[in-house]
A and B are shown apart, each in its own frame.
Chain A
């Protein structure tokens, strides 16, 4: 009998693991709860200026392409794992799929998008092969009656009355690549996120810059010229139970500032930080360039007040003691927190969690990527590949 594996999560770690497993002749079921694979990374912007900044965002479409073409990888979007039983070498898994939008029928023609009054159907990321319904915005999911998209669809891909599917699989091993959640910046009430529109998160800046060509990030003609990046939001924070470094925020913040400046050379940026993490391939050069181009202030604001210009209050910043500073736009460099369904997945898969809430693997169930702790795109991909390589060796050992 040929071996088979369940990979939970279609982000970089899941893609890497699936490709490696399939490459070894193992049938892979790649389960993704969203409408498209790619994970958070597929929503990030390429941060190249005149030269490549090595942010790895471009790795994801390449890997998506590879999994779509691999005959041994079966991609199951809109699908969740609801039950897992068995032991290493023989797991029985129950999957459940929401079939309101059938991705095998959708050809991304865009009629549904034109018809929807709430803009609740969209492509999750630029490499999605089918549209998806955003349940937060869709009227049907808040109990209202509406079937405009279903009526507009020429292929019958959308049907709100189509029941969900549920079926069982037998697999030899499971890779939990369930990913992470960006830290919820609203928890830092004093930093004003959710209260002042010009306080945004790094992720929102990523997505905005991915959508547009220039720096008109809110689409209202206003362009930020004096940007403050606040580092370590939700990282190295004992109060939030996150006394770990998220590894990625220094890197994306400096690169995003570089991209803003490349698109609008008049852009000034200031970094408020504790320690800049300078490690990682190619990053020391980026940091040195940033020290020439931008201002670095050691200290995190205690409070931010709104207004035409945002006012940042410090208890101490770069040796100045109490200080106030003003900026146009504040970008909170939010860290990596355990995914919202980590507890649920830990229960389903009988996994332990570490002191910060990230998953720890066990025999037969492997944890890959940010599910196990902070990693960037290329690290997650490499970790997925390595995890799969380990699993293959273990599996072959058991069979031989």
Chain B
């Protein structure tokens, strides 16, 4: 006979007498303070050697995680406790909820926990600002790192570009000092001119194959950071090609020797797509510089002016005050070449849609900024999906993080923020050198599995694998995040999901629970 406990939060006004039954061996009232509540609950559970229990309260979900953790520390199984939320229920509703929870609780099975040793080394793919900042943060927390960089030199796009940094920071200087610190550190391995090939394993124990100049090598680590940066694409729809009168915004600096010819310059923004804060920032900076240094007349043409960043609105006003002219267009300006000049023809809605004709010596086109390394992410099943709970740096795969320009359009302070946060998250994950996870929460019944691969295809966390020997699916408990999708969609109903098993849920629904 199972032994059950009913735990009632103080003030929920539940009649304890109604719970008396052969299985409920103890009924007690718990204090409202979360910590005291947990202590008393665990104390009674242990003293009465309970098989399971129900916690009846007003907002029990607030204590759920903490309870689970405390149970585990006390050597108890947290999945043997069913929480009942009575908020907004009248007396009849309360009674029904409690009966339903008890019905479900009868079906609960024990869940085992495992402790696994975790690698502490962190594998960082990409040696730009995002990767370096993550490495610096991890080193401060004492974790060793490997940095894999495709190029010969570390530093990424920041070493080539200063338009990203309108603040007081000096990105090149930042890169130099970061590299000084990292190169001196014996716990930092830098693999430059190296290409990541394959990634195997799961959180706590990943193996990365790298094509290095010395040949293929492998490195093991507990977590992986993708800091792949961004790339730019020439705006095709403009109909313009790079030439003496047309240049991309990120290549503007290369023009300097012949600058004096450019009496009249236009920045054409938002050409393909919607443009970016970064592009606007860079254009505003460059416009002011061209005006000051070359004495040119400067126009900026855009669909929407991006001002939603700290320095943007003030820089826009400054540029306007200094004589930079702004136009807006709905339809892309028509460009025609005309005697060493480019003629742009467009309508500005703020100017009552009259047609504007302007001839320019130089057109600077905003390229589209795209995340780099999407193919790598896809190959490894890593994405930063439309799930805000994974913001800012987590991904769908446990132990794999994405930082900097490869996950979102980002300026230098944003990149630094990402690296700092990622280092902190990884420190918390691997700092103890041990991972704790539920071992058999989600389990495949091998004899029922028909090997259809539905779960492998569906699993958002790459936790469903195939076991070719057993000819059945296998849910990797370390990678599993217990979302339940595989169990819900398995056509053969071969996947057990403990604490949310069909029998238990049906029993609860039959009793009128929600």
| A interface residues, Cβ below 8 angstroms from B | 20, 23, 51-52, 54-56, 58-59, 62, 64-66, 68-71, 104-105, 107-109, 127, 129, 154-155, 236, 243-247, 250, 274-282, 284, 287, 298, 316, 318-321, 373-374, 378, 381-383, 385-386, 389-390, 393, 396
A23 contacts B428, C-beta separation under 8 Å: yes
Please report which residues of chain B, range 54-88, place their CB below 8 angstroms from some CB of chain A when the two chains form the complex.
58-59, 61-66, 69, 87
Interface residues on B, range: 35 or more
Least distance between B55 CB and chain A CB atoms (Å): 14
B308 contacts A65, C-beta separation under 8 Å: no
Residues of A within 8 A of B293 (CB): none
In the complex, A280 Cα to B310 Cα: how many Å? 14
In the complex, A107 Cα to B64 Cα: how many Å? 17
B184 at the binding interface (Cβ < 8 Å):
no
A108-B389 contact given A23-B428, A243-B313, A284-B274, CB 8 Å threshold: no
B211 at the binding interface (Cβ < 8 Å):
no
A243 contacts B314, C-beta separation under 8 Å: yes
A282, closest chain B residue (CB): B386
Residues of A within 8 A of B312 (CB): 245
Other than A109-B58, A277-B304, give 17 A-B pairs with Cβ distance below 8 A. Answer: A23-B424, A54-B388, A58-B389, A59-B391, A65-B61, A68-B62, A69-B64, A70-B66, A107-B11, A108-B58, A109-B13, A243-B314, A244-B307, A278-B304, A282-B386, A382-B391, A383-B417
List 13 contacting pairs A-B, 8 Å CB cutoff, sorted by A. Answer: A56-B388, A58-B388, A59-B388, A104-B33, A129-B62, A244-B310, A280-B408, A281-B408, A284-B273, A298-B328, A318-B349, A319-B352, A389-B421
In the complex, A23 Cα to B374 Cα: how many Å? 32
A296, closest chain B residue (CB): B330
A378, closest chain B residue (CB): B391
Residues of B within 8 A of A378 (CB): 388, 391-392
Least distance between A291 CB and chain B CB atoms (Å): 10
From the candidates B58, B317, B423, name the one contacting A243 in the complex (CB within 8 A): B317
B242 at the binding interface (Cβ < 8 Å):
no
B62 contacts A69, C-beta separation under 8 Å: yes
Least distance between A24 CB and chain B CB atoms (Å): 8
A279 contacts B409, C-beta separation under 8 Å: yes
A382 contacts B306, C-beta separation under 8 Å: no
Least distance between A103 CB and chain B CB atoms (Å): 9
B476 at the binding interface (Cβ < 8 Å):
no
A236 contacts B313, C-beta separation under 8 Å: yes
A298 contacts B417, C-beta separation under 8 Å: no
Which 10 A-B pairs have CB atoms at the shortest separation, nearest pair first? A69-B66, A107-B11, A319-B353, A277-B308, A278-B274, A275-B304, A245-B307, A319-B349, A247-B308, A275-B305
B304 contacts A52, C-beta separation under 8 Å: no
A157, closest chain B residue (CB): B11
In the complex, A284 Cα to B64 Cα: how many Å? 37
B87 contacts A389, C-beta separation under 8 Å: no
B276 at the binding interface (Cβ < 8 Å):
yes
Please report which residues of chain B, range 35-66, place their CB below 8 angstroms from some CB of chain A when the two chains form the complex.
35, 58-59, 61-66
B317 contacts A386, C-beta separation under 8 Å: no
B32 contacts A104, C-beta separation under 8 Å: yes
In the complex, A246 Cα to B392 Cα: how many Å? 20
B420 contacts A390, C-beta separation under 8 Å: yes
A389 contacts B420, C-beta separation under 8 Å: yes
In the complex, A36 Cα to B202 Cα: how many Å? 39
B137 at the binding interface (Cβ < 8 Å):
yes
Residues of B within 8 A of A284 (CB): 273-274
Please report which residues of chain B, range 1-43, place their CB below 8 angstroms from some CB of chain A when the two chains form the complex.
9-13, 32-35
Q: Which of B137, B310, B353 has the most CB of A within 10 A?
A: B310
Residues of B within 8 A of A70 (CB): 66
Residues of A within 8 A of B304 (CB): 275-278
B387 at the binding interface (Cβ < 8 Å):
yes
Residues of A within 8 A of B35 (CB): 71
Residues of B within 8 A of A374 (CB): 308
Residues of B within 8 A of A282 (CB): 386
B313 contacts A386, C-beta separation under 8 Å: no
B277 at the binding interface (Cβ < 8 Å):
yes
B140 at the binding interface (Cβ < 8 Å):
yes
In the complex, A81 Cα to B390 Cα: how many Å? 33
A379, closest chain B residue (CB): B392
Residues of A within 8 A of B61 (CB): 65
A321-B277 contact given A52-B386, A69-B66, A282-B386, CB 8 Å threshold: no
B57, closest chain A residue (CB): A107
B350 at the binding interface (Cβ < 8 Å):
yes
A279 contacts B137, C-beta separation under 8 Å: no
From the candidates B65, B313, B328, name the one contacting A66 in the complex (CB within 8 A): B65
Residues of B within 8 A of A51 (CB): 386
Q: Which of B9, B32, B306, B317 has the most CB of A within 10 A?
A: B32
B34 contacts A69, C-beta separation under 8 Å: yes
B275 at the binding interface (Cβ < 8 Å):
yes
B389 contacts A389, C-beta separation under 8 Å: no
Residues of A within 8 A of B274 (CB): 278, 284, 287
A245-B391 contact given A65-B64, A104-B32, A105-B32, CB 8 Å threshold: no
In the complex, A373 Cα to B62 Cα: how many Å? 31
In the complex, A174 Cα to B397 Cα: how many Å? 35
B313 contacts A62, C-beta separation under 8 Å: no
B140 contacts A154, C-beta separation under 8 Å: no
B270, closest chain A residue (CB): A278
B388, closest chain A residue (CB): A56
Residues of A within 8 A of B33 (CB): 104
In the complex, A274 Cα to B276 Cα: how many Å? 17
In the complex, A277 Cα to B423 Cα: how many Å? 30
In the complex, A364 Cα to B12 Cα: how many Å? 43
Please report which residues of chain B, range 311-368, place their CB below 8 angstroms from some CB of chain A when the two chains form the complex.
312-314, 317, 328, 347, 349-353
B352 contacts A321, C-beta separation under 8 Å: yes
In the complex, A390 Cα to B304 Cα: how many Å? 35
Residues of A within 8 A of B69 (CB): 69
In the complex, A107 Cα to B10 Cα: how many Å? 8
A54 contacts B386, C-beta separation under 8 Å: yes
In the complex, A243 Cα to B313 Cα: how many Å? 7
In the complex, A257 Cα to B276 Cα: how many Å? 23
A393 contacts B140, C-beta separation under 8 Å: yes
Q: Which of A23, A55, A155, A382 has the most CB of B within 10 A?
A: A382
A386 contacts B409, C-beta separation under 8 Å: no
From the candidates B62, B307, B408, B417, name the one contacting A275 in the complex (CB within 8 A): B307
A56 contacts B391, C-beta separation under 8 Å: yes
Residues of A within 8 A of B384 (CB): 281
